[in-house]
Structure formats: structure tokens, C-alpha cells
Amino acid sequence: MATSIRTLVLRVVGDSTRNIHHVLGSRVKHSFCNAGITVCRGYSDGKSTHFGFETVPEEDKAERVYKVFESVAKKYDVMNDAMSLGIHRLWKDTLLHIMNPQPGLRLLDTAGGTGDISFRFLEYTHSMYDRQQRQRARSNQTPSWQDLAGHYKTDEAAPSQSRAVVYDINKEMLKVGKQKAEKAGIGTGLSWVMGDAEELPFDDDQFDIYTIAFGIRNVTHIEQALQEAFRVLKPGGRFLCLEFSKVSNPLLERLYDTYSFQMIPVLGEVIAGDWKSYQYLVESIRKFPDQETFKEMIEGAGFFCVQYFNLTGGIVAIHSGFKL
């Protein structure tokens, strides 16, 4: 037992020192890497892309991302709570508040994985619907016979009118999400679809709201995912993206970097038994474009009224755009 702990500690220390060298070494290469990749993308489709701080051929990235999430699927939610100290729940709640969905809308929760956003969406719309009904009942002291008859009919139909589709490329994540839904007893209005965010198997003008929470940085061709989002949204539909972004405050940035590179992979190893996946996670955050650049990418896909909201000092940003 002592030896196993010793080997574990040695491995942890070894990994972290390797990590520091890696980080220091790649800081300089950072800007060159970014410029190089964007130049590549500009001229041709680009033969390689980033996978964290590694450069990999484009065809491989999707597969490697798949493997990452396949291995972390079971401990995904636990790790989220541990890494963000539970704050990810507040981020997702804020996303819902900004969305402010009316009852009866259709949501496409891309990279929905374990279904956090979809569950919150259904809860929100159901409670909104209840509140509207209560207000209608309060203001309507002497309802006519037609209204009463109407209420009996619509009581079952209306709450399930808001529908959410959880869409993910990874079967394991969807499996975990389905189990969660069963346990929570959320059944009506929820569908689970597997597929690639760059090629949505839906017709045009299908959804009112398209969300992608902590998923778009894993997509190989972000512009394609944005264009697909534009395609499947109805006119007036809303695109929402919750994603890690650039921290504005330099002091906070330093703390955040230290926490990301020192603590998170260690937590990943201890809780989920997977150092590399969480190393990929924090590196992919650094490779993602900052708020303004991403806003321009969204506008390039054809969205209007694009704005972003910084949460927790810029650690996370919510981008919103409309198809008008």
C-alpha cells in the first residue's frame, strides 16, 4: 500500500514538473502557433489543427476528442463540480436566465452530453408555464365554460410542448445523460440524438434555440458548426454559446492559470483516473479564441445582434446571436 501511494505521488510530481516545462516551453510558441494555424486556414482547408497544445491532423482531432469524453463520461458531472467548485451550476443557470425561454419552444442542446442544459430548460419552461396559468387564473375570476373546458384539454399537452433535443457525438455521454434523466423523472419533451455538430441531421428552420455549452472548443471546424447552427434555427431563433474564454484581469488570469495547470489534471487523476483528458481540457481552453474574436466568427456565420456576457471575470463567456 505504501509503495502504491509512493508511486502515485512520484507520478503526480513527475507529471506536474513535465507539465511546467511544457507550459513554459509552449508559451513562446503560442502566438506563432495561433498565427500559423489561422494563416493555414485562410489559404487552404488546413491539414492540421490544435488538440490542446499539440498539433494533430484534422481527421484525428474528432477521434481523439471522442476518446477523451468516452473515458471521462462516467465521472463527468462529479469532475465538473470538483473543478469549478460547483460554480458551473451557476453558469448554466445564468445561461438559462439570459435565454429566458417562453413555454412551447424547441431547443437543440448541442454537445449536450449529460443533458444539464436541457433539464434546466424543461424545468424553466414548465415553471414559467405554471406561473402564467396561475396569473391567468388569478385575473380570471369568473371563467367561462369555454375556458374551463380548454384548461382540461391543455393541461397535459402544453407543458410538454417545450421540447429539448440533446445532441452529442459521444454515445457514452448520452448514456450517462439518459440515466440521469430517468433518475430525475424527466421524460416528456426530451430526445437524445447522436451526431456531429458540424453536420446536423436536421432540416432547416427547425429549432427556436440552439445552445452549445462547453462544447464548441472541441469542434474541429468551428465555422462549420456555426453555419450549421444558423441553418437549423428558425427565423428569429437564438444561438447561445457558453464557453470558457479569456480572463480580463491579469491577476485573476495568473491565479486561474496556476489553478488550471496545477490543480485540474491532478483532480482528474485522483477522481476520474485520467490525467491526460483533463490536461487536454485546460489546454483546449487556452486555444479557444477570445470573446471579441469569437463574436466576429458568429457574425461571420450570419447572426445578428451578437453580444457576449462575461461571467466570473471572463473565465466563462456567454455569446448570443439571432437569426433574423
Q: What does the binding site for another protein look like in residue numbers (CB under 8 A)?
A: 98-102, 104-105, 132, 203-205, 208-209, 231, 233-238, 299-302, 304-305, 320, 322, 324
CB of 42 to another protein, least distance (A): 13
Q: Closer to another protein at the Cβ: 64 or 104?
A: 104
Q: How far is the CB of 318 from another protein (least distance, A)?
A: 11
Q: Which ranges of the chain would DSSP assign to H, the alpha helix? A: 2-43, 58-72, 76-84, 87-99, 116-139, 145-157, 171-184, 222-232, 250-258, 264-267, 275-287, 291-300
Q: What residues have CB less than 8 Å from 286, skipping those under 6 apart? A: 30, 53
Report in angstroms how near the CB of residue 107 gets to another protein at its nearest: 9
The residue (of 282 and 306) whose beta carbon lies closer to another protein is 306
54-57 and 48-51 beta bridge pairing: antiparallel
Question: From the CB of 321, what's the least distance to another protein, in Å?
Answer: 10
> Residue 66 or 322: which CB sits closer to another protein?
322
Which of 16, 92, 35 is CA-nearest to residue 282? Answer: 16
Q: With respect to another protein, which residue has the nearer C-beta, 27 or 136? A: 136
The 163-168 sheet, strands edge to edge: 190-194, 163-168, 106-110, 207-213, 233-244, 316-322, 304-311
Q: What is the DSSP string of 147-165?
A: HHHHHHHHHHHTGGGSEEE
Rounded to the nearest whole angstrom, what is the least distance from the CB of residue 205 to another protein in the complex?
A: 5
Q: Which of 234, 259, 244 lies closest to 311, judged by CA?
A: 244
Q: For residues 11 and 131, which CB has a smaller minimum distance to another protein in the complex?
A: 131
Burial, 317: exposed, middle or buried (Cβ in 10 Å; 0-12, 13-18, 19+)? buried
- Any bridge partners for residue 193, and if so which? 167
Pick the closer one to another protein by CB: 104 or 171.
104
Of 129 and 256, CB closest to another protein: 129
Minimum distance, C-beta of residue 272 to another protein, in the bound complex (Å): 36
Least distance (Å) between residue 308 CB and another protein: 13
Instruction: Kindly state the smallest distance separating residue 235's Cβ from another protein, in Å.
Output: 5
DSSP string covering 39-80? HHHHHSS-SEEEETTEEEEHHHHHHHHHHHHHHHGGGHHHHH
Between 214 and 239, CB nearer to another protein = 239
